[in-house]
């Protein structure tokens, strides 16, 4: 068998049917199997899954994501393994079909796909990150880490054009967000008791607090990550995500000078990150540094327009959270240009690129 599509699910009835239907072209064109492990659903997840495959199994949840994912792998018979979640929908399945049918898979041991994480559907807010999801199912392939688990695999790896639309963090669903926060934050706290200098777990705890609107706790967690990294001489050039989260948390806690400082520090270490320019521009705007804010909003837009060539796209550890904020950036560009009475042509062109009515109304006001 060529490919196992493996999934670990719990209470995924909202998106599971669409998720599994989107796999139909892959399953029709390639020699595949679909293996699903349910870890304790009390909705219609199990029934939906059974309509698509007879390889649905139950394993009780044990607060360890990697152990559950490795259990799914233990059922896999495919030479390759595609890891998918029940709230993800493959946007362009032909990219995976072509990867195998072209024979390109024979040159690689793993494949990266783009995960498009929606946070607000009404405002088209999303982030993007390259994630490894397709693996040669050899003796070395497995997952590690109790939460935010990391796949272990051999190189070389190829970046595919595959896009996974992910709906697991849509903030307009408060019940879902609360459930995920309690689950994830509790596991992270347990892991940090065992390993208090794990900066990745401090970073993830900060993100969890931020999504839960516990902003002071989120800042404290990422400050701890940064301080531990400094104390232990950890090279943050390979962990730019620490800088990005720290700049963001200073921003949301109204500490604009520190947000700007950290963004500048990060960009001096490694340039080309979408979020850093956006957070720096917002921080400068709040400090009244209008000219600098305009310059950095424009650079943010430039990086968005040339995303495939940026460090943001290449860095698989960075989830570019501000990818969907271009409408807001255009709005500020228009307002700043009008206020400063400079770059009027650029501002007007920017206004025409806004695709959300509420932001457009703000943008065109200075020219009416």
Instruction: Give residues with Cβ within 8 angstroms of 268, minimum separation 6.
Output: none
Q: What is the pTM of this model?
A: 0.86
Beta carbons within 10 angstroms of residue 350's beta carbon: 22
pLDDT at 120: 84
pLDDT, mean of residues 218-225 = 98
Tell me, yes or no, whether 13 and 162 share the same domain.
yes
Tell me, yes or no, whether 128 and 204 share the same domain.
no
pLDDT, mean of residues 208-237 = 96
Among residues 289, 292, 290, the alpha carbon closest in space to that of 277 is found at: 292
Q: Tell me whether the omega of the peptide bond preceding residue 156 falls within 30 degrees of 0, making it cis.
A: yes
Among residues 26, 39, 33, the alpha carbon closest in space to that of 6 is found at: 33
Radius of gyration in angstroms for the set of CA atoms belonging to the chain, rounded to a whole number: 22
Of 166, 192, 207, the one marking the end of a domain is 166
Flag whether pLDDT at 46 surpasses 80: yes
Question: Token match 């892959």: residue?
Answer: 26
Tell me, yes or no, whether 145 and 292 share the same domain.
no
Distance in Å from the first CA to the final CA of the chain: 64
Tell me, yes or no, whether 285 and 153 share the same domain.
no
pLDDT at 177: 79
Which token pair is 184?
């994830």
Tell me, yes or no, whether 359 and 293 share the same domain.
yes
Tell me, yes or no, whether 200 and 326 share the same domain.
yes
Tell me, yes or no, whether 121 and 219 share the same domain.
no
Flag whether pLDDT at 157 surpasses 50: yes
pLDDT at 191: 93
We report the CATH number of the domain holding residue 316 as 1.25.40.10
| Cα–Cα distance, 152 to 349 (Å, whole number) | 46
Half-sphere exposure of 335 (CA within 13 A, CB side): 16
| Cα–Cα distance, 215 to 269 (Å, whole number) | 26
Residue 65 belongs to what domain range? 3-166
pLDDT at 360: 47
- pLDDT per residue as tens digits for the range 317-367: 999 999 999 999 999 999 999 899 887 777 777 776 776 554 544 544 544
Among residues 92, 94, 82, 169, the alpha carbon closest in space to that of 131 is found at: 82
Find out whether 312 and 318 touch, Cβ atoms under 8 Å.
yes
Tell me, yes or no, whether 123 and 226 share the same domain.
no
Secondary structure class of 367 (helix, strand, coil)? helix
List helix spans (H) across the chain.
16-21, 24-29, 45-50, 65-75, 94-101, 174-194, 199-211, 215-231, 240-252, 256-269, 274-286, 290-305, 311-314, 326-340, 344-352, 357-364
pLDDT at 357: 52
- Structure-model confidence comparison of residues 112 and 183, the more confident one: 112
Q: What is the residue-averaged pLDDT of the chain?
A: 92
Of 112, 136, 166, the one marking the end of a domain is 166
Find out whether 119 and 173 touch, Cβ atoms under 8 Å.
no
pLDDT at 124: 82
| Cα–Cα distance, 368 to 362 (Å, whole number) | 11
Chain Cα centroid distance, residue 243: 16
| Cα–Cα distance, 274 to 278 (Å, whole number) | 6
For the chain, the domain total comes to 2
| Cα–Cα distance, 39 to 82 (Å, whole number) | 19
Q: Percentage of the chain surpassing pLDDT 70?
A: 95
Q: Where are the beta strands (DSSP E) in 39-183?
A: 56-58, 80-84, 88-90, 110-120, 125-136, 142-144, 150-152, 157-166
Find out whether 126 and 118 touch, Cβ atoms under 8 Å.
yes
Tell me, yes or no, whether 310 and 183 share the same domain.
yes
Tell me, yes or no, whether 155 and 189 share the same domain.
no
We report the CATH number of the domain holding residue 52 as 3.90.550.10
Of 136, 166, 196, the one marking the end of a domain is 166
Instruction: Give residues with Cβ within 8 angstroms of 261, minimum separation 6.
Output: none
Tell me, yes or no, whether 86 and 183 share the same domain.
no
- Structure-model confidence comparison of residues 54 and 353, the more confident one: 54
| Cα–Cα distance, 334 to 348 (Å, whole number) | 7
Find out whether 303 and 230 touch, Cβ atoms under 8 Å.
no
pLDDT, mean of residues 118-125 = 84
pLDDT at 7: 98
- Least-confidence region, from 91-105, 260-274, 279-293, 329-343: 329-343
Tell me, yes or no, whether 159 and 179 share the same domain.
no
Secondary structure class of 5 (helix, strand, coil)? strand
- Least-confidence region, from 132-146, 164-178, 243-257: 164-178
The DSSP element (H or E) to which 38 belongs, if any, is: strand 32-38
- 159 phi and psi angles, rounded to 5 deg: -90, 115
| Cα–Cα distance, 289 to 340 (Å, whole number) | 11
């Amino acid at each position: 068998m060529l490919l196992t599509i493996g999934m670990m699910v719990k209470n995924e009835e909202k998106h599971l049917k669409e998720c599994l239907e989107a796999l139909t072209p892959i399953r029709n064109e390639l020699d595949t199997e679909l293996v699903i492990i349910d870890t304790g659903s009390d909705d219609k997840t199990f029934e939906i899954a059974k309509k698509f495959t007879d390889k649905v199994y139950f394993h009780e949840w044990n607060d360890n994501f990697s152990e559950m994912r490795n259990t799914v792998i233990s059922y896999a018979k495919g030479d390759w393994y595609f890891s998918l979640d029940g709230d993800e929908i493959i946007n362009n399945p032909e990219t995976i079909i072509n990867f195998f049918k072209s024979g390109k898979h024979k040159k690689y041991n793993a494949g990266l796909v783009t995960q498009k994480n929606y946070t607000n559907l009404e405002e088209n807010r999303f982030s993007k990150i390259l994630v490894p999801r397709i693996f040669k199912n050899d003796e070395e392939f497995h997952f590690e880490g109790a939460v935010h688990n990391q796949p272990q695999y051999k190189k070389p790896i190829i970046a595919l054009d595959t896009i996974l639309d992910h709906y697991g963090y849509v903030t307009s669903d408060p019940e879902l967000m609360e459930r995920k926060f309690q689950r994830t934050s509790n596991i992270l706290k347990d892991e940090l008791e065992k390993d208090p200098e794990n900066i990745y777990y401090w970073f993830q705890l900060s993100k969890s607090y931020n999504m839960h609107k516990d902003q002071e706790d989120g800042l404290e967690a990422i400050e701890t990550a940064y301080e531990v990294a400094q104390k232990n001489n950890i090279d943050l050039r390979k962990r730019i995500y620490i800088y990005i989260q720290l700049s963001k948390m200073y921003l949301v806690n109204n500490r604009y000078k520190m947000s700007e400082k950290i963004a500048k520090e990060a960009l001096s270490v490694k340039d080309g990150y979408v979020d850093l320019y956006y957070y720096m521009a917002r921080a400068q705007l709040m400090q009244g540094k209008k000219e600098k804010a305009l310059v950095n909003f424009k650079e943010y837009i430039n990086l968005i327009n040339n995303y495939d060539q940026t460090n943001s796209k290449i860095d698989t550890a960075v989830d570019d959270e501000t990818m969907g904020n271009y409408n807001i950036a255009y709005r500020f560009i228009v307002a700043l240009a009008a206020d400063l009475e400079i770059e009027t042509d650029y501002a007007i062109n920017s206004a025409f690129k806004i695709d959300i009515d509420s932001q457009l109304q703000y943008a065109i006001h200075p020219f009416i």
